[in-house]
Structure 1
Amino acid sequence: MNNQVKLMGVIIFTLFSQLCLAQEDTRHIQLHHLLDSLHRSNAFNGNVLVAEKGKVIYQESFGLADEKSKRKIDHDTAFELASVSKQFTAMAIILLQKQGKLSYSDEVSKYVPELAAYKGITLHHLLVHTSGLPDYMALAVKYWNKNDIATNASILKLFEQVKPEREFQPNEKWEYSDTGYLVLATVIERVSKSSFNDFLKQNIFMPLGMNRTFIYQRRYEPMQIKNYAEGYIYSDSLKRKILPDELGNGNYEVFLDGVVGDGMVNSTTEDLLKWDRALYTDQLIDDNDKKLVFSSHDTSTGQATAYGYGWFIENSEKYGKVVSHSGDWAGYITYIERHIDRDKTIIILQNNSLESTVIPVPDICKIIYGE
């Protein structure tokens, strides 16, 4: 009798395992059909990784990393993350707070006297985009010498000189702000007394084994990067894909290359999965910190911002708590989405920023949830 029970258990386990494998194979086939079709229609060029509980269920590369040499993208190809970088800037501020070197309630002018005219703005306001600081890109386009590459320091000097008006009073409303994360990167450097790159490398990238993640400013500090994806935009006049540099120094993607904090982190899909896994542990931050990172913070009027510390926040009826961020800069379209309650992760890195480029996350979700 015992042997029969054991045998039945083995049979049930085997059938269940085969069913799971069949389901996994089906999802893999469906995901590949989706991404391959998009690639063939010039709507997707890059890397995609989908994981459940840290296990990769789909990972594939599509297209070229370099149009000139015809070098193909592979799993280890590094991409500019654009605004996906903001979550690393936010994490650096959290780590400095945990070290007792700053407080979220500190006024920005304590560390950045160039912004003394903008009283009442705290580090928290910068983190959640409620500072009211005007857009630095618009300011640079209007006042900056386009033959020079701007840096965080030079942009802050421009703020000090021009003193553009606030968009609104601190915490009065929510408005996405690249300026805020530029300022946060400057705070990180001044408080830690190290470069933005070095602080992230020593405190985040190296501890997590993210060996293919780094700050790269190709025009401000040119260097040779192994297996790097060049970012392409489309030129209507030339009728072909080009590098932004071909547009000349007047293009803001070129003369703002010295700015960090709101972008300029570069990484791979596999390194971003390591980052995803670390956020389920206490390796960098504890549960109290995570509540700040992955919660929406209200404005003074009670408006829900749907933004945490470096992440957009959504409470989905279908998928539970979803945190995500997209990026779009100089030929790169990037995206990371984490379904925290279900432990599912979608990472997309593309090096074509074209009118036809899409981020097919809704379709990917339908497949992985069997909808």
Structure 2
Amino acid sequence: MKKAPLTTRILRIIMPLIAVLCIYLWAPWQAGLMYLSPLPDSIQEQLDDAIKYDLDGIVVYVQQADNAPEFYAAGFNNRDTKTPADPHVLFKIASISKLYIAAATAKLVAAQRLSLDGTLAEYLPELANRIEHAQSITLRMLVQHRSGIFNFTDDPDFPWDNMPTHSSELLEFGLDKPAEFAPDESYQYSNTNYLLIGNILDKTLGYSHHRYITEHILMPLGLSRTFNGPSEVNIAELSSGYSIGYDGDLKTQPHVGASGSMIASAEDVGTFLRALNDGSLLNEQEQAIYASIYVFEHTGLVPGYSSIARYHPDIDTVVIQFVNTSGGNSWTTTEVIYGRIIKLLHQR
């Protein structure tokens, strides 16, 4: 058999070494150690080990091909009462909510009630003088985070310790700011985009987009454990949420607005995500529109909660991971854990 070129053989040797070095230099050392440690024999063992890395509780949902879903949990739902983590608990899914907003947008575009080429100034003329380039920012750019509009959570004065209780209050932190770039010239994730989309949906529908999502997305999929915001939820069913360096429970902290207010169980998110990916949620026209404007997976992060929702086509598997800890190095840790779970699934 012909040998690979010398340079190729050298690269095969040094590239793993470079990867290891990068982990030690840039990743938090605990996450680096976890990344390098041998894989356990099961997902449950991985979750049990994950709790050692400053995480309070973790829930994982796995649904592969036509198989029944699998549920895993470790740690605490409430660390003060030592209530064990429950894989069916409700969770603040934060920016995973954007998938539902994008799906609703695609449906309304297909119904010709919205146009992706309609401008922000046309849809929300009352805000045209408060957003730079409003005359040329389109709905498509808002959905795709290509508007250049300032992200309201990046405002240094944003009150993380006293969160606004109405989306209009959130929006104020994104208005009257210089554009980050000219419309469609670059990409920058901005929660303000989705607050504005929520307003556009409300104005177009003549009623709350929350109702539209419930009637046209949640109900057809039979999702009874998904809610548009905290006001719809029995607080006792919601997981506690914690942030490293803060002692209190963050589950009563308000989260409003189309950028990330939804609450759901891991199973409901998994059911939605599979339907979004396999085309059973949207009709052919809607699916084509959605595919042209947004992604089919998402992560979420708000104080006290971090989440990952992804479909892995190579193994036809949906994996949802909820962690009720934020802050510190917790996000890097959650990403490493998720990656290890995927490796375990590939070994089946």
Q: TM-score range by the shorter chain?
A: 0.7 to 0.9
Please report the RMSD computed on the Cα atoms of aligned residues, expressed in angstroms.
Answer: 2.9
Q: Which residue of 2 aligns with 1:340?
A: 313
Cross-structure match for 2:111: 99
CA separation in 2, counterparts of 1:222 and 1:205? 14
Residue 256 of structure 2: aligned partner: 259
C-alpha separation between the residues in 2 aligned to 1:197 and 1:226?
A: 22
What letter corresponds to residue 346 of structure 1 in structure 2?
V
Output aligned runs, 1:287-326, within 5 Å: 287-294=284-291, 308-309=293-294, 311=295, 323-326=296-299
Q: Indicate yes or no: 2:249 matched with 1:243.
A: yes
Amino acid at match of 1:325: H
Q: What is residue 20 of structure 1 aligned with on the other side?
A: none
Does residue 72 of the first structure (1) align with residue 69 of the second (2)?
no
Q: 1:140 to 1:122 in 2, by over 3 A?
A: farther
- Match for 1:210: what amino acid? L
Matched, 1:119 2:131: no
Separation in 1 of the partners of 2:315 and 2:251? 42
- Written as runs of structure 1 = structure 2, the 5 A alignment for 1:171-186 is 171-186=184-199
Contact 1:64 1:72 in 2 (8 A): yes
Alpha-carbon distance, 1:355 to partner: 2.6
Alpha-carbon deviation of 1:63?
Answer: 2.1
In the alignment, structure 1 residue 196 sits paired with structure 2 residue 206: no
The separation in 1 between residues aligned to 2:249 and 2:201, in whole angstroms, is 31
1:137 partner SS: helix
State whether residues 45 and 350 of structure 1, in contact with CA within 8 Å, keep that contact through their aligned partners in structure 2: yes
Name 1:134's counterpart in structure 2. 150
Larger % of helix: which?
A: 2
Correspondence 1:365 to 2:329: no
Change (3 A) 1:53 1:245: closer
User: Could you list the per-position Cα deviations for residues 197-238 of structure 1 after superposition, in whole angstroms to 9, with x for gaps in the alignment?
Assistant: 222111111111110100223xxx496334210211122xxx
Secondary structure of the corresponding residue to residue 187 of structure 1: helix
Amino acid at match of 1:99: A
Partner residue in 1 for 2:168: 153
Offset of residue 280 of structure 1? 4.5
Distance 1:140 1:290, change over 3 A: farther
Say whether residues 1:271 and 2:287 are aligned partners.
no
| Structure 1: gaps of 5 or more residues | 1-26, 247-253, 296-307, 312-322
Quote the sequence identity (%): 25
Deviation string, structure 1 residues 15-34 (Cα, Å, up to 9, x no partner)? xxxxxxxxxxxx99422221
Distance 1:69 1:43 in 2: 16
Give the secondary structure class of the aligned counterpart of 1:141.
coil
Question: SS of the residue aligned with 2:318?
Answer: strand
Q: Which residue in the other structure is 1:42 paired with? A: 54
Measured against aligned partners, the alpha-carbon deviations of 1:104-162 in whole angstroms (never above 9, x if no partner) come to 111122222233132201110011100011122344826x8x978352334446666xx
Query: TM-score, normalization: structure 2?
Result: 0.77
Partner of 1:214: 227
Residues 1:31 and 1:332: Cα distance change in structure 2 (over 3 Å): same
Structure having the higher Rg:
1
Contact 1:85 1:262 in 2 (8 A): yes
Higher mean C-alpha deviation, range 167-176 or range 147-156: 147-156
Matched AA of 2:207: S
| Residue ranges of structure 2 left out of the alignment (5+ in a row) | 1-38
Q: CA deviation at 1:337?
A: 1.1
| Count, aligned residues | 302
Q: TM-score, normalised by structure 1?
A: 0.72
Cα–Cα, structure 1 residues 110 and 152, in superposed 2: closer, same or farther, change >3 Å? Answer: farther
Q: Tell me, what secondary structure is at the counterpart of 1:36?
A: helix
Which of 283, 286, 289 aligns to 1:286? It is 283
Q: Alpha-carbon deviations, 1:316-358, whole Å to 9, x = none?
A: xxxxxxx531111010010011123542111101111143532
- 3-state SS of 1:279 partner: helix
